């Protein structure tokens, strides 16, 4: 994923040097947030170490206020206390590459929240998906001609009861008369979701065609997220 991602409404706040280094790495890949943006809606505190956890309280106190606040642990083994004013506590899947996953997380945020898609998904929907304590994981697959190519790869990943999902895809050209045929593989895939699953769908026009899935699993129902095996 080589698309430039400039976040306008989320303020990324590293609370330890390890988190700062991950942001620096992403910046080299053209993934970054606007400094002092007047449109900030959410503070995202990034923590990677026990030292960072110990500095969270002061970082939250010192940071400029925002409509919502998220703590995102870049190490799934860290235990983070509950803080007043924090709406969401997130961590990535164990053994996941935190830099890669954070880049995909910011891609999903940018393209579903900040860039209005062709379905009505917005900031409030996003916060509703991630509120509370959750483990999150992202996968994305590009495709050349038919979206089926990417959907088939998504089907290799196990869907879990009691999880929430955000499914996002792009088309080079949006043609309403052909949309029903394009959406058919997506609809078939959505029909495979467990009955208790909540999901959102969004799509847009973009030069790079892909299908991306974000899985949000409440902390008490976390299971290993691996492709299904035959």
The per-residue pLDDT for range 116-133, each reduced to its tens digit, is 877 878 999 999 999 999
More confident position, 178 or 191: 191
pLDDT at 222: 38
How high is the mean pLDDT of the chain? 90
Q: Rg of the chain over CA atoms, in angstroms?
A: 18
At residue 2, the pLDDT reads 58
pLDDT of residue 221: 43
Cα–Cα distance for residue pair 214/150, rounded to 1 Å: 14
Can you tell me the distance from the alpha carbon of 46 to that of 70, in angstroms, rounded to the nearest whole number? 9
Q: What is the pLDDT of residues 154-178, one digit of tens each?
A: 999 889 888 999 999 999 888 887 7
pLDDT of residue 174: 82
Give the separation between CA 165 and CA 197, rounded to whole angstroms: 8
Catalogue the long-range contacts made by 142-148 (C-beta closer than 8 Å, 24 or more residues apart).
Answer: 142/208, 142/209, 142/210, 143/209, 143/210, 143/211, 144/209, 146/185, 147/171, 147/182, 147/185, 147/186, 147/209, 147/211, 148/185
Q: Is the pLDDT of residue 45 over 70?
A: yes
Global pTM reads: 0.90
First-to-final CA distance of the chain: 29
Mean pLDDT of 75-87: 93
pLDDT at 139: 94
């Amino acid at each position: 994923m080589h698309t430039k991602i400039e976040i306008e409404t989320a303020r990324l706040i590293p609370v330890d040097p390890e988190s700062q280094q991950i942001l620096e790495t992403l910046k080299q890949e053209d993934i970054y947030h606007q400094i002092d943006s007047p449109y900030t809606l959410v503070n995202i505190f990034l923590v990677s170490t026990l030292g960072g956890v110990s500095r969270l309280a002061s970082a939250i106190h010192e940071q400029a206020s925002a409509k919502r606040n998220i703590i995102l642990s870049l190490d799934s083994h860290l235990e983070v206390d509950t803080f007043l004013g924090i709406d969401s506590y997130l961590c990535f899947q164990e053994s996941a590459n935190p830099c890669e996953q954070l880049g995909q997380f910011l891609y999903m945020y940018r393209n579903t929240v900040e860039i209005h898609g062709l379905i009505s998904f917005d900031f409030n929907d996003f916060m509703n998906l991630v509120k509370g304590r959750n483990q999150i994981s992202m996968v994305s697959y590009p495709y050349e001609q038919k979206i089926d190519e990417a959907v088939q790869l998504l089907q290799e990943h196990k869907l879990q009861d009691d999880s929430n999902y955000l499914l996002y895809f792009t088309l080079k050209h949006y043609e309403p008369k052909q949309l029903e045929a394009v959406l058919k593989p997506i609809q078939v895939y959505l029909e495979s979701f467990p009955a208790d699953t909540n999901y959102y769908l969004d799509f847009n026009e973009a030069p790079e065609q892909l299908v991306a899935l974000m899985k949000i699993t409440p902390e008490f129902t976390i299971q290993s997220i691996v492709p299904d095996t035959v």
